[in-house]
Amino acid sequence: MSIVLGYDESPGARRALGLALDLAARLDEPLVLVYGAAPPGVVGEEAGSHTQALAEIGQAALAHAVADAEEAGVRTVLELVDEKPVNALLHAAEKHDARVIVVGTYGETPLRGAILGSVPHKLLHLSDRPVLCVPAER
C-alpha cells in the first residue's frame, strides 16, 4: 500500500505535502509523488514544447518534495507522467495500491470548481479510493 500525493508546489500542495509526509511516516508506507505533465488543450507543433516545459517544472517540483521526504525519513516513488493531473493520480493510485489520494485545494467555491474542473472536485467524483483535500493556509 501507499499514500499518493498530487504535487505541483502550489500553496495547497505544499500544505498537503506536510500532511502526506506525516501520514506516510505514521503508517510506514511509501509516498508516491505524482505530477501530471500533459498540457491542457494544446495540440499541434506547440504541444511538444508545452509538454517539455511542464515536465521540467514537474521535475523541479518533485525534487523539492523528495528533499522534504528524505528529511522526514519517508520513502518516495516518483510518477512524472504525460497525463492530465486527475488521470495521473488515478493511475498512480491503482498502480501503487494507494490507501488515499492527497491533494491540495486552492479555496475555490464548489461552483467554480465544477465549472473550471478542479482536480480535487474531479477526484472526489471519479476515485474509488478516499481522497483527502487539504486547503492552503489562509
The pLDDT, as a whole number, for residue 35 is 94
DSSP state of 3: E
Residue 118, pLDDT score: 85
pLDDT in tens, 13-31: 999 999 999 999 999 999 9
Residues 6+ apart with CB under 8 A from 4: 32, 34, 89, 92, 93, 96, 98, 100, 101, 102
- Tell me the pTM: 0.88
- The predicted pLDDT at position 52 comes to 83
pLDDT number for residue 106: 78
The pLDDT value recorded for residue 110 is 60
Q: What is the pLDDT of residue 121?
A: 87
Query: In which band, very low, low, confident or very high, does the pLDDT at 125 lie, cut at 50, 70 and 90?
Result: very high
Find the DSSP H helices in 34-127: 45-72, 85-95, 110-116, 119-126
| Phi, psi for residue 14 in degrees, rounded to 5 | -65, -40
Instruction: With a cut of 80, say whether residue 42 has pLDDT above it.
Output: no
- pLDDT category, 113, cuts 50, 70, 90? low
Q: Each residue of 95-104: pLDDT tens digit?
A: 999 999 999 9
Flag whether pLDDT at 108 surpasses 70: no
